[in-house]
Structures are given as C-alpha cells and as structure tokens.
Amino acid sequence: QFVPVMCKSQILIIIIITLKGRKEAQGVRKRGARAWVQSFEEIPHTGKYGWVNLMKFWRQGYFRQLHKHMEGTFNALGPIYREHVGTQKTVNIILPSDIAELFQSEGRLPQRMTLKPWATHREIRQHSKGIFLKNGEEWRSDRVLLNKEVLMSSAVQRFIPLLDEVARDFCKMLQKKVEREGIGQKGKRSLTVDPSPDLFRFALEAICNVLYGERIGLFSSSPSLESQKFIWAVEQMLATTPPLLYLPHQLLLHIGASLWTQHATAWDNIFSHADARIQKCYRRLSSFQGQGSKAEAAGGQYPGVLGQLMEKGQLSLDLIKANITELMAGGVDTTAVPLQFAFFELGRNPEVQEKVRQQVRTSWALADGDPLVALQGAPLLRGIIKEVLRLYPVGITVNRMPVKDIILQNYRVPAGTTVSVCLYPMGRSSDVFDDPMRFDPGRWSSGKGGQRISGFRSLAFGFGARQCVGRRIAENEMQLLLMHVSDSRHEKVETRRRIISSTVISNSPLQVKGLQSFTLVKVADINMLQ
C-alpha cells in the first residue's frame, strides 16, 4: 500500500521491518538479503526460448567459447542467471556464498547433471556404466570401493612411486631430445619445442602405469600407434560432447547425424583400447593364479588399480571394466592441458619459476629420495596447480541438483534444478580473488604472503563425496612432473634448466604457436589465454 509515495529502497526497508519475524521463522531469509525471497522466474535470464537460444549459440560459436560467454553474461546480468539452451536448463552462479549454499544442499548422494550422450552410448552398446554416469546408492557402492584404490592416502602412497618413475623418465626423454635435436655446444644445447604431444604421452603413460601397474613405452622412439589413436579418440569425444549436450541427441542418433556418429565412434575407440589393456593385464595377473595373491604375483610389487580391484573381487568384472575405462578416459587431457598452462605461466613469470626451483631444491635435499616427502616440502608446486586450474579450469563448470529448495541471491531455486558453478569466470573475478589476473601460486599458502583464501574458491576438482575421484592421481602426477623439471640437483641440470628457460617455459611467440596447434577441443584453451 506504500507504493505510490515511496521509492523502491524505502519499500524494501518497510517490508524488512514488517516481515522480519515471519520470514526468519520460516528459515528462508538470508543475512544481508533483501526481505522477500523472489521466485525462480524472476532470476535474470538469457532468453526464454531454448531453441532460439540454441540457434544463437550455434551462430555465435559459443560452444567453443562457453567460458567466455559465461563471463560476459555474469558481467551483464549479475552473479546469478538462468540459461535455457536447446534441451538444457541451468542456473549459473559464481559467488562463494552461493556455492556454499549449493554444496551444503547436495545431500548424501550428490547428483550431477547426467551427460546424456555418454549414457546413451553405454546403453546402445550395452556397456555397464561407471561412477561418472551413475547416481544414488548404485553410485555410492562403486565409489566407496574406488576411493580406497585411488583417493585415500594409503592408495596415494602405493601409486606415487609409479608416477615418480614416469615423471623422471619424461625428463630423461626431454634431455635426450635436447642433446639430439638442440642447437649449441654439446652439453649446453637448447631446443624450442611444442610440449603438447609429449605431455599427452606423459599423461597416458602415467595413468596406465597407475591403473595397470605396467609401462606402455610411450617415451620410446617409436611409441605405439594404438596409444596415439586413444589420445585422438579422447580428444574427439570431448570435442563432440558440448554441442550434443544441448541437442536432442536421440534424434541425431536416429537419423545417423555425423556429430553423433563421431561421438559414438570416439567412445568405441576408447572402449576398445581400454578393453585391450584390461584383457592383457587380466591375463598377466591370472597366469599367476594359485601362486599367492596378485600383488605377490606381480613380484611383490603394487599391481596397479586394476589388479587391486580384481584381487579384492568386490566389484564385478563388468563394473571394474566400466570404471577403469572411465578412469582412462578421464586421465589424459585433464592433466596434459593444465601442465601446458603451467609451463606457459612459469615462462611468463621467471621470478615464480626461480622461487619454485629454490623450494624444490631445498625440499629434495631433506627428502632422502622420497618423492612424497619432497612434494610435501614444496607447497609452491601445489600452489602452481591451484593457480593454473583457477585461471584455466579443465571443466569450466561443476554442477549439482540440490535435494531441497535453496535460496541463491535471494531467489528461490527449486530442488532438482541443475545449478552450475562457473569456474572460469569465478577464477577471474575481482569479487572473488585479489588481483585475479596475476599468476601467484603463493596466494594459496596459509603462511606469510598467502592471502588466506577462504572456502569454496578452489573447486576445480569439484566438492565433497562426489569430487573428482582421480584428484590425487592428477595432483601428484602434475606436481611430480613440475618437480623433476624444476629440480636442478642432478647432473643434467644444465640441460633441464635450459628446457625450462628457453624451451617449454618461455614467453616466445613459438610457445604460443605451439598452443595454437591444438585440435578442436583445445580451441577453448587458446581463448583462455586472452
């Protein structure tokens, strides 16, 4: 009844006073929020009609630049917006206070938006689904078993030596390359290379060693074509996923559209590669049956995640296969690409590079050859990974479907809505990070110099019970590589240092040229450099 005589802010004040008691009792009023919770429909949006928006996405090339589109939309509409594109509806958020609210409402069985094209592939090929695609109790029972093999600290201790061995061999391979192809005097050669293909090989070699407990020889002078095909297949699968998420992929499947065929073929290749590896490993471990445990059969050594799962026998072979295939598919691009960005940023920031080298040197000296201890003594390595994933997140969103209605920015969001945390714009927002465009690994340290970053800001691996199951593999794999590349204690330091300063880590145009040679899926990454 005050409307005719008062401005909007006065109206709000009056309402706060009159409704305070009632809304707080109902538990829907947030501190600092405007009094009256607004409806879902009132959330700012990018257009009502999903198909019209889809056309716009297509025309403007947003599928390749989703992160940029999100950043622009937050700038235009504020910290929350709705988006309806084709078959997808999401609410997008960016602020830690809203993210906290979302994750606190994820329930005991957190649920993400299902990647339907992936699920459909499993259904039409009659493959079992792994944890990525499952929900509910079914997800939980697999996940608990996998956590023991890849996420818990006892597992980390088992696989660290395998990752360490691959990281050391990678450095040796680079040294040989410099000696062979570099310019300058013997022993003081330097070489400028595009590190991308080598880093993809490194990531595949590392994940295979952890999963199967055996090396696949990708650093040899003639790496197998089969492995190269696997790398291409993962790239193809990732590149074809974003458009399929918004299109009626069942229809595309029905009419045999080439986008769907490319996607399904890529998955088929991933499955057949993983299948061949699994069969080979299975035969090797089975041939020792009756000679004690599989761990003993593997010469007393850790037999890899597959061997552990088979030995324990708590998951059916079908489910082991489904999950190992997902770990393979999730274990290559996810680490190879951030490593490239790590080198790129270290190249642009020589003072950071020097600090890291000093820290690694000191830590090695105290670690007595134990890679885990050495990593613990060099927190800047962890900071580099966090900083790289803040600026160049692998997955640009993490989403949840809350189990109850939640209030975000004073709007009511019904249970079951897909809410996406937009990592790329969040990582570059000055509302969330001080001086966000500065590459500063030290900002994550808790001690002197660190910014004491509070919660819900480091989310590149997701959150809680549903966070990335491969997180510890990825973090340790990337840190070990950076540690060995930075380590200047060994004999061939000179060469390695040159690799850092003049080759991989340099801000020369050649470095950027290397990045431009990425295939489709990486186009987004190049844009992230802008």
User: Binding site: what residues are annotated?
Assistant: 468
Q: Out of 107, 223, 395, 436, name the contact with ligand HEM by CB under 6 A.
A: 395
Token duo for residue 175: 């040294």
To the nearest whole angstrom, how small is the minimum distance from the Cβ of residue 374 to ligand HEM? 20
The three state secondary structure string of 276-319 is HHHHHHHHHHHCCCCCCCHHHHCCCCCCHHHHHHHHHCCCCHHH
Query: Phi first, then psi: what are they for 8, rounded to 5°?
Result: -60, -45
Q: Rg for the chain (alpha carbons), in Å? A: 25
CA triple 291-294-295, angle to 5 deg = 115
Q: Out of 79, 96, 338, 402, name the contact with ligand HEM by CB under 6 A.
A: 338
> Between 178 and 322, whose beta carbon lies closer to ligand HEM?
322
Percent composition of the chain: helix, strand, coil (DSSP 3-state, to 5): 60, 5, 35
Annotated binding-site residues for heme read: 468
Per CB under 6 A, contacts with ligand HEM among 194-233 are 207
- Contact, 426 vs 432, CB < 8 A? yes
Sheet holding 419-422, edge to edge: 80-85, 88-93, 419-422, 397-400
To the nearest whole angstrom, how small is the minimum distance from the Cβ of residue 169 to ligand HEM? 19
- Contact, 285 vs 310, CB < 8 A? yes
- CA 423 – CA 463 distance, rounded (Å): 12
Q: With contacts defined by CB under 6 A, how many residues of the chain interact with ligand HEM?
A: 27
Sole window of 76-84, 245-253, 334-342, 434-442 interacting with ligand HEM (rule: CB under 6 A): 334-342
The amino acid sitting at 251 is L
Per CB under 6 A, contacts with ligand HEM among 136-155 are 143
Q: Report the 10 Å Cβ neighbour count for 455.
A: 11
Q: Report the 10 Å Cβ neighbour count for 32.
A: 7
> Between 54 and 421, whose beta carbon lies closer to ligand HEM?
421
- Residues 461-480 as x/- pattern, contact with ligand HEM by CB under 6 A: xxx--xxxxx--xx------
Sole window of 182-190, 294-302, 458-466, 486-494 interacting with ligand HEM (rule: CB under 6 A): 458-466
To the nearest whole angstrom, how small is the minimum distance from the Cβ of residue 205 to ligand HEM? 13
- Site membership for ligand HEM, residue 381 (CB under 6 A): no
To the nearest whole angstrom, how small is the minimum distance from the Cβ of residue 465 to ligand HEM? 8
Q: Out of 117, 304, 331, 425, name the contact with ligand HEM by CB under 6 A.
A: 331
> Between 208 and 297, whose beta carbon lies closer to ligand HEM?
208
**Residues lying near ligand HEM in the complex (CB under 6 A):** 112, 131-132, 143, 207, 326-327, 330-331, 334-335, 338, 389, 394-395, 398, 460-463, 466-470, 473-474
